[in-house]
Structure 1
């Protein structure tokens, strides 16, 4: 009897909560939140559209005109492009552009990869060396080019060292020699781009599993075999990024050429970028310069797309 009363009292005082669940909160409508995100990105989108796409579209339109930069103009169709491919100096400028682009990509990537592999090991001075190799990237291209211009002068440090070493026959006016001027520009460009490639490859090497290299070493693979069959396949994305960015930057080289040679001697170092500046701003042929700029833009897009397709195809195969 007492037990029954206690159980009934307990049932009254402490009611059971079985089956009582909290309702989940109502989901927020994502429309307003997403619209708020667009507000944050809107200034950047406007700048990209205005500076890049709108300006490129307007420049592309003037490529089909004879506008001098002032006053009225007439639409001339493809006459500017016919003049470009009929002018031997412009064909030579196109050749110099491709030479500097591919030469800088090959040399800077090979040297950057070699330095990255060397600094990837455990060295006490690797952080200092990384900073020293990367420093030319953050320096002004004009400032460094003027320093190299002093080095390559006829009475500059390079020729002084050659004469002191008994190699005076090799001394020459490097920047005034039509044969060697383009090579001096290439040296300066490669020197300034090595650090950029090195940083990309070091990021790729950091993702290479150490266990795989150790397993290959245990199986008897030497250093060169481990590099070709383990390291290179693992850093293919880094290779694609470094070569694509290097090729795009190489095709539009301008600062180093203007500071070192100004496109000379005798247009030996002229490129499409320097010809755009010369025609549009020095000679007042804005329509002709816009046609050269449009041609350079198309070349950059074609090579960038091809490089990306090739890189994606190799990664898919692997």
Structure 2
């Protein structure tokens, strides 16, 4: 009987050990689940990964797309970094970062902060109207604004109507105003996306934090800087990544408004990629420029993520000091 009890105790201990070491069903690899993602994965590989690899390969050749390609070594990349026109275009992209990224984030924060505090009838409709530019096609936006900013367009007509005819311009045809005009169009397109992201982030903030701040005598500005803004760090990071990517790769908005003109005052790297590939038939140089532009976007996005990532230790120390 003693032996039977000992055996039973060993069996129970073995069952407990098996239960502790048994992996949950959710964590077990299920090869059948891969079948659900296989179509999307195949689409991604065929239409994203393969073209990227092909672009990198072509960037080391001189090729017009028809004749036999000849090896070019690093000459295409050397041309990218030594081209004065391309450096000017990159400078234009950096200027557009202010209009396409910084201003939309700032305007989005102001609108989201105001909308989170006010309660008026029709606020949902107002949000939809403000977000509308984001869902419009870039070609539609470009054509519409090209008419709005024309010499006989609504902007100049309004200036003449109020006696400010001296301020009228051919906004997209003047060397001094073409780039800022395109930048403001980009601001108009992108601020709605930032606003919606920030409104979603504000909705997740614990309302008791605002109540405690009001009890301490904090005003609207103090609530925004001390509670809302720190809590929106993830949304600000996402907004900056999306808007910076749009600014650096933007092509259709510029091409359909100014085609890089007047002169080269609104050229950006993506315009040179198009011209090299489809006008000059220099696919190797176009691929090299596209690769460099992609790396630049990844670097800038990485810097933004590092700058805005959450640091629990630092935030905890700030909370202790507060």
TM-score when normalising by structure 1: 0.88
Q: Give yes or no for the alignment of 1:182 onto 2:193.
A: no
What's the counterpart of residue 125 of structure 1? 122
Q: Point out 4+ residue stretches in structure 1 off by more than 3 angstroms.
A: 26-33, 313-316
How far did residue 156 of structure 1 move?
1.2
Distance 1:314 1:271, change over 3 A: farther
How far did residue 101 of structure 1 move?
2.4
What's the counterpart of residue 12 of structure 2? none
How far did residue 245 of structure 1 move?
1.3
What's the counterpart of residue 110 of structure 2? 114
What's the counterpart of residue 244 of structure 1? 241
How far did residue 158 of structure 1 move?
0.9
What's the counterpart of residue 293 of structure 2? 296
What's the counterpart of residue 14 of structure 1? none
Alpha-carbon separation, structure 2, partners of 1:29 and 1:163: 72
Q: Please list the CA deviations of residues 150-189 of structure 1 after superposition, one character each: whole Å capped at 9, or x if unmatched.
A: 0111111111111111111111111111111011111111
* 1:275-290 correspondence runs (5 A): 275-290=272-287
Consecutive unaligned residues of structure 2, counting only runs of 5 or more, are 1-21, 316-322
Q: Give yes or no for the alignment of 1:42 onto 2:38.
A: yes
Consecutive unaligned residues of structure 1, counting only runs of 5 or more, are 1-25
How far did residue 81 of structure 1 move?
1.8
Distance 1:129 1:316, change over 3 A: farther
Match 2:59 to one of 49, 59, 63: 63
Alpha-carbon separation, structure 2, partners of 1:118 and 1:106: 19
What's the counterpart of residue 155 of structure 1? 152
How far did residue 103 of structure 1 move?
2.8
How far did residue 315 of structure 1 move?
5.9
What's the counterpart of residue 23 of structure 1? none
Q: Give yes or no for the alignment of 1:192 onto 2:176.
A: no
Supply the RMSD in Å over aligned alpha carbons: 2.0
Match 2:78 to one of 71, 76, 82: 82
Q: Give yes or no for the alignment of 1:271 onto 2:237.
A: no
Q: Is the 8 A contact 1:101 1:249 kept in 2?
A: no
Q: Please list the CA deviations of residues 119-165 of structure 1 after superposition, one character each: whole Å capped at 9, or x if unmatched.
A: 22322221011110111111111111101000111111111111111
Distance 1:120 1:91, change over 3 A: same
Larger radius of gyration: 1
Q: Please list the CA deviations of residues 205-226 of structure 1 after superposition, one character each: whole Å capped at 9, or x if unmatched.
A: 0011111111111111121111
Q: Is the 8 A contact 2:113 2:224 kept in 1?
A: no
TM-score when normalising by structure 2: 0.86
Distance 1:36 1:194, change over 3 A: same
Q: Is the 8 A contact 2:99 2:184 kept in 1?
A: no
Q: Is the 8 A contact 1:102 1:250 kept in 2?
A: no
How far did residue 86 of structure 1 move?
2.0
Distance 1:168 1:237, change over 3 A: same
